[in-house]
């Protein structure tokens, strides 16, 4: 695939410095906060729900520490056995799911 050059040349200076709303050089403009006093932002209910979910999930551990310790001990004792048939079956299931999602 060939990427052509843009038909319009890009501006030489960043938009913030040389854009259409920029102050002429030598003159200072008031800070953005002074220009936009009284502006308010309101987040929707979805954002509130996401924030609530985030805070509730922060207290949940990523892994079950007890189960991890149990598996470590089983490996150390030589009792941990890998069931290759189950691993193969689950791998095939995953591939089927991925292929089904693609179509």
Cβ-contact 35, 23 below 8 angstroms: no
The C-alpha atoms of residue 24 and residue 22 are separated, in whole angstroms, by: 6
| pLDDT tens digits along 61-77 | 888 899 999 999 999 99
Average pLDDT (36-40) is 74
Average pLDDT (14-43) is 59
Cβ-contact 49, 57 below 8 angstroms: no
Confidence class of residue 14 from pLDDT cuts 50, 70 and 90? Answer: low
What is the residue-wise DSSP string for the chain? -PPPPPSSPPPSS-HHHHSTTPPPTT-----HHHHTTT------HHHHHHHHHHHHHHTS-SS-HHHHHHHHHHHHHT-----HHHHHHHHHHHHHHHHHHH-
Q: pTM for this one?
A: 0.35
pLDDT, residue 84, reads 96
Average pLDDT, rounded, for the chain: 77
The C-alpha atoms of residue 72 and residue 46 are separated, in whole angstroms, by: 41
Those residues with Cβ within 8 angstroms of residue 71's Cβ, 6 or more apart along the chain or in another chain = 80
């Amino acid at each position: 695939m060939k990427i052509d050059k843009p038909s319009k040349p890009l501006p030489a200076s960043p938009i913030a410095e040389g854009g259409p709303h920029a102050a002429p050089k030598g003159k200072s403009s008031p800070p953005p906060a002074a220009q936009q006093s009284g502006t308010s932002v309101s987040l929707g209910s979805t954002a509130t729900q996401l924030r609530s979910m985030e805070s509730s999930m922060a207290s949940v551990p990523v892994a079950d520490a007890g189960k991890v310790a149990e598996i470590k001990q089983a490996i150390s004792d030589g009792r941990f056995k890998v069931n290759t048939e189950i691993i193969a079956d689950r791998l095939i299931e995953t591939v089927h799911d991925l292929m089904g999602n693609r179509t």
